[in-house]
Structure 1
Amino acid sequence: MRAFNHFLALQMWGTPPIATKVATNINALALPNSTQADLYKAILDDLKDAFAGLPAVWDASDTGRATKWTARAFEGKVDVWKKDWPAAIAVFEDVRANSGYGLMNENAAKKDNFEDVFDYKKENEKESIFEIQYGGPQSDDNLWVFDDTHSEAFKASQGTARVWYWNAPNGAGAPGGHMGWYSPTQSLVDEFEPGDPRLAVSIYKAGDTYYTNGVTDGVPYDAGWSSTGYMIRKYGGVRNAASANYAPNGQARFNNKRYFRYADLLLLYAEALIQSGRIPDGMAVINNEVRARVGLGASPKAAGMEALMHERRVELAFEPGRWFDITRWGIGPTVFGSKWKEAFNLFPFPQSEITRSNGLLKQNNGY
């Protein structure tokens, strides 16, 4: 978990402090900026230690805890961000050969395989490398204040605000009483190829049947509920409309967050192969595994990195990582045009942290 958080901090801020010891002096809590070289070393050292020390599997009472193969998979992901392609390839090939991870591919007709991944009744399946465990159902859950008055079995979170922000807004007349703050863009919708079943799993559009808490029979989706005409459907749909998946007040959903799944790993592996000059091998992973799982043929993109970028965008829509794909590929100007500034490749350090450090922590350029 220390490696996980250091890696996320590296992605966000570039040169955040490295914290490897518990501070014991309240007057000496501040830490300086690190270097990316030191961060990568600390992260990879921790992941290698975790791989050596963690079990390959946990029993049912510890479902969801990181295993040695979680650590190994994250090691490969970090190697991709570091652009150490040979190391990434070696790690991913070890995971592919020995971990037991695989794509969920239960339906030979390939119509429902992608939706299986986000079904709340199919949590912690073989495609899950790291999955945030949510609780539920509890009788008194509130999205903002969980477990304040009694001692239920504690988990990292008792539910996710995903439903609150993603589902159609009550103010527009939609059922469910949610906010609908995040709407898919037309650009994303256009990125999906005709016949790609991942579009229907990921996005609501005019003509669809809309499901949310208390609407298990579905209602016609109204494009007017969204500023773009679309709403996010991933983790939703008829499979996930059951009351057991929602807090009683409808504010939270209990479907686990698939933070890192095997399809993501396959695309990172394909990227490492392509960047190493092994373009046919990388394209084979994209075409014969990720795309084949949903019944699609060869990628419409001829160039290796174009095919990779396209596939990551549609396969992983609304999952963690799109922003960091944009920054590590350096495509901010392409995506955002004149609104983009180079400073946006990194987040600003909070001014409160800089102030608390008495200037020991230095701000990123451009802020």
Structure 2
Amino acid sequence: MNKIYIIILAVIVMSGCKKDPVVVGPSDKVSTGSFPKSLNDLNTILNPAYGNLKSIGLYGFELMPKALENSVHAGDAQYNGDAAWNEMTANNLSVNNGKSQNAWAALYAGAGACNITLEAADFYEKNYAPAGQKADIDAVRGQAKFMRAFYYFQLETLFGEAYIKAGGVNEGKMGVPIYTEVPKNVESTQQGRASTKQVWDFIKQDLKDAAVLLDNKVWGASEIGRATEWSAKALLGKAYVFTEDWANAKTTLLDVINNSGKTLMPYAKYKDAFNGNTANEFNEESLFEMNIDGDNKGNYGPWGNNPNATTLNGVIWSPYILSLTGTETGSRPLGYGGNLGVHDKNVTRFGYPLGYYTLVNNPAFDSSKPPTPANPAMIMDPAYRTAATAVRTNKTADPRLYVNLVQPWLDVLNINWENGAFQNIPVSKPDYLAGAPNTYGWGFRKYAAIDYHLNMVNYDKWNWYFLRMADVYLLYAEASIGSGDGGTGLEYINKVRRRAYSLPINSASARDYTSLTAATPAINDPVLGTNPLRYERWAELFHEGHWWFDVCRWRLGPQEAAFYGTARNLSTPLTFNEAKSYSWPIPLTEFNANAKIAGQQNPNY
């Protein structure tokens, strides 16, 4: 049905408005009607290529909180009533897993929107475009090619059989089906799986084309979220790293570093760059981000009559604040409670050196007044609080711990909670951990609501970074190391680390790693403890949807499962099957719809 819908959509878009009610199904040919007739029409056709990013199956809702964050154990799910969610946590998916199936369908829908745009651009240029508009049409083509590459990048890294390694290893493994044009009939929707090399070559060529088509294109303030030449080159550099083509990766990424005009934002901005402060959007570090308007168009997040109007990830990973009576029991989530908290192992992975806290009677409690968050009967042990405050002040733990997470009792959130008045209310453990010994109970801060309640507005208000310069620096470091230039690699790792400690990024510091095997902040961590490149990618890009792909391409699955050990929504210890789990299964729905993919499932599914 999805494929038939794509054909119907293509016919409608390419044929324009018709009064004939008989034409309601797929046709063998696309009409050469009257749409698009203007550049505005063409941009209208392009817009779904961007808007599709906010679909329920992608960044609108499911992909991050219900799939990737469980797969890498950034989150620890309290809720265990969703079998597909539990499978993600266990890294043991079934072929009818709803989260992977919805991602597959949404990614191909996005790629299909790009193909429609490219054909519409050709049609418009041939039939209606006035002289002198070629550059504008090419800019549309460039965006469509960038977005198509973006969708196929996601498809290949999630569903491809294996990553290409240096020297061409795995080039003949199974990639994903490639559609280069709008299907004109049902037969043309039947595509077998291309090889991994074919898919990556397709991605790279689209990005090269996009960079040329968008060369020197500068968007006005009302169009600032559109892809640019540097978006394309950054993703191209990433594609080279992910296929271990170190020489091309270095050249491409260095071009971005030297010529894009982008750099790392200062730490003060960085700490406040993930929670909806509009002053920080499209900043000096951002290469491509998804624009989120603080308006759900009357819907509940991505659902309703405008399904891609906004996103609602934060409703799942919301932090908690103290109850109305100042207790952890009955603490209040700033979204939909009881779903997904922070896995405790992430706290020590950022280098937090203290154990668990206890509650003690509040010596300042005023018994003549009712208990409230400002007058709690019990508080964090003051000695622990003093030690925890010193960890922050002295930067004993990685400062990015406090960019990403909020700490019970020490962090205070300014919440418009009751009667329209803002109140400073301490962060709490989730109510389901109240009284539980040996738990940290920290909450998410990055990409979480920290100054409003999501259930009151039903939308996220923060833009989502897909590509930023910290990622580029670390990719360039990896490419340099891969090509034998460890010194340059170490320097670019240290640039990212210096920013985390609010230091000048281009000057050596006492915080620098002295070697590629130096100790990192990660405590008792056999995966990241003596690997600065891995640690910096984990810490810098935590909770941004990148770590799963690093785990898969570096084949860290069993080590990560052993490090995290357990998950709240599973009754057995975490394990990882290297023979299958680095690739998600091709959904059963695809086998039911696509005869040419028969016998091409990923191994061991």
What TM-score does the superposition give when structure 1 sets the normalisation length? Answer: 0.87
SS in 1 for 2:465: strand
Does the 8 A contact of 1:172 with 1:225 survive in 2?
A: yes
Q: Structure 2 matches for 1:189-228, cutoff 5 A?
A: 189-193=347-351, 194-211=396-413, 214-215=416-417, 216-225=422-431
Q: Paired residue for 2:156?
A: 10
SS in 1 for 2:416: coil
Correspondence for 2:587 among 304, 328, 350: 350
Does the 8 A contact of 1:176 with 1:212 survive in 2?
A: no
Correspondence for 2:283 among 119, 122, 125: 125
Q: Paired residue for 1:93?
A: 254
SS in 1 for 2:311: coil
Most deviating of 164-173 and 34-43: 164-173
Correspondence for 1:325 among 537, 550, 554: 550
Does the 8 A contact of 2:156 with 2:199 survive in 1?
A: yes
Q: Paired residue for 2:334?
A: 176
Does the 8 A contact of 2:413 with 2:424 survive in 1?
A: yes
Q: Paired residue for 1:24?
A: 184
SS in 1 for 2:341: coil
Q: Which structure is larger by alpha-carbon Rg, 1 or 2? A: 2
Q: Paired residue for 1:360?
A: 597
SS in 2 for 1:258: strand
Q: Post-superposition shift, 1:53?
A: 0.3
CA 1:146–1:57: 2 relative to 1, 3 Å: farther
Q: How many residues align?
A: 349
Task: Give the counterpart letter for 2:249 in structure 1.
Answer: A
Task: Give the counterpart letter for 1:197 in structure 2.
Answer: P
CA 1:212–1:183: 2 relative to 1, 3 Å: farther
Q: Paired residue for 2:467?
A: 260
Q: Post-superposition shift, 1:226?
A: 6.1
SS in 2 for 1:293: helix
Q: Paired residue for 2:512?
A: 298
Q: Structure 1 stretches of 5 or more lacking a match?
A: 149-155
Does the 8 A contact of 2:302 with 2:311 survive in 1?
A: no
Does the 8 A contact of 2:253 with 2:472 survive in 1?
A: yes
Task: Give the counterpart letter for 1:360 in structure 2.
Answer: I
Q: Distance in 2 between matches of 1:100 and 1:226?
A: 47
Q: Post-superposition shift, 1:358?
A: 2.6
Correspondence for 2:538 among 289, 313, 335: 313
Which deviations, in whole Å up to 9, do the C-alpha atoms of 1:200-245 show, x marking residues without a partner?
110122223353763443322222446551221113475xx2x6xx
Q: Distance in 1 between matches of 2:335 and 2:200?
A: 44
Q: Post-superposition shift, 1:247?
A: 6.8
Which deviations, in whole Å up to 9, do the C-alpha atoms of 1:26-74 show, x marking residues without a partner?
2441210110110111101000000000144211121100001100000
Indicate yes or no: 2:410 matched with 1:249: no
Which deviations, in whole Å up to 9, do the C-alpha atoms of 1:271-311 show, x marking residues without a partner?
11112221121111111x21111227113874288110011
Indicate yes or no: 2:164 matched with 1:164: no
SS in 2 for 1:259: strand
Q: Post-superposition shift, 1:119?
A: 4.5
Which deviations, in whole Å up to 9, do the C-alpha atoms of 1:167-216 show, x marking residues without a partner?
04799531434235332222221121324221111012222335376344
Q: Distance in 2 between matches of 1:213 and 1:18?
A: 47
Q: Distance in 1 between matches of 2:538 and 2:431?
A: 24
Which deviations, in whole Å up to 9, do the C-alpha atoms of 1:329-357 show, x marking residues without a partner?
01111101361002011000101101211
Q: Distance in 2 between matches of 1:113 and 1:180?
A: 31
Task: Give the counterpart letter for 1:233 in structure 2.
Answer: R
Q: Distance in 1 between matches of 2:459 and 2:149?
A: 29
CA 1:212–1:179: 2 relative to 1, 3 Å: farther
CA 1:256–1:79: 2 relative to 1, 3 Å: same
Q: Paired residue for 2:444?
A: 232
Q: Paired residue for 1:188?
A: 346
Q: Distance in 2 between matches of 1:184 and 1:214?
A: 24
Q: Paired residue for 2:229?
A: 68
Aligned-pair RMSD on alpha carbons? Answer: 2.5
Q: Distance in 1 between matches of 2:154 and 2:185?
A: 26
SS in 1 for 2:289: strand
Does the 8 A contact of 1:184 with 1:231 survive in 2?
A: yes
Indicate yes or no: 2:494 matched with 1:284: no
Q: Structure 2 matches for 1:25-44, cutoff 5 A?
A: 25-44=185-204
Q: Post-superposition shift, 1:80?
A: 0.5
Does the 8 A contact of 1:168 with 1:226 survive in 2?
A: no
CA 1:166–1:180: 2 relative to 1, 3 Å: farther
Task: Give the counterpart letter for 1:192 in structure 2.
Answer: F
Q: Distance in 2 between matches of 1:324 and 1:336?
A: 15
CA 1:274–1:329: 2 relative to 1, 3 Å: same
Does the 8 A contact of 1:31 with 1:357 survive in 2?
A: yes
Task: Give the counterpart letter for 2:257 in structure 1.
Answer: R
Q: Paired residue for 2:245?
A: 84
Most deviating of 47-56 and 75-84: 47-56
Most deviating of 182-191 and 341-350: 182-191
Most deviating of 13-22 and 331-340: 331-340
Quote the sequence identity (%): 31
Task: Give the counterpart letter for 2:239 in structure 1.
Answer: V
Does the 8 A contact of 1:30 with 1:357 survive in 2?
A: yes
Does the 8 A contact of 2:315 with 2:455 survive in 1?
A: no
SS in 2 for 1:129: strand
Task: Give the counterpart letter for 1:123 in structure 2.
Answer: E
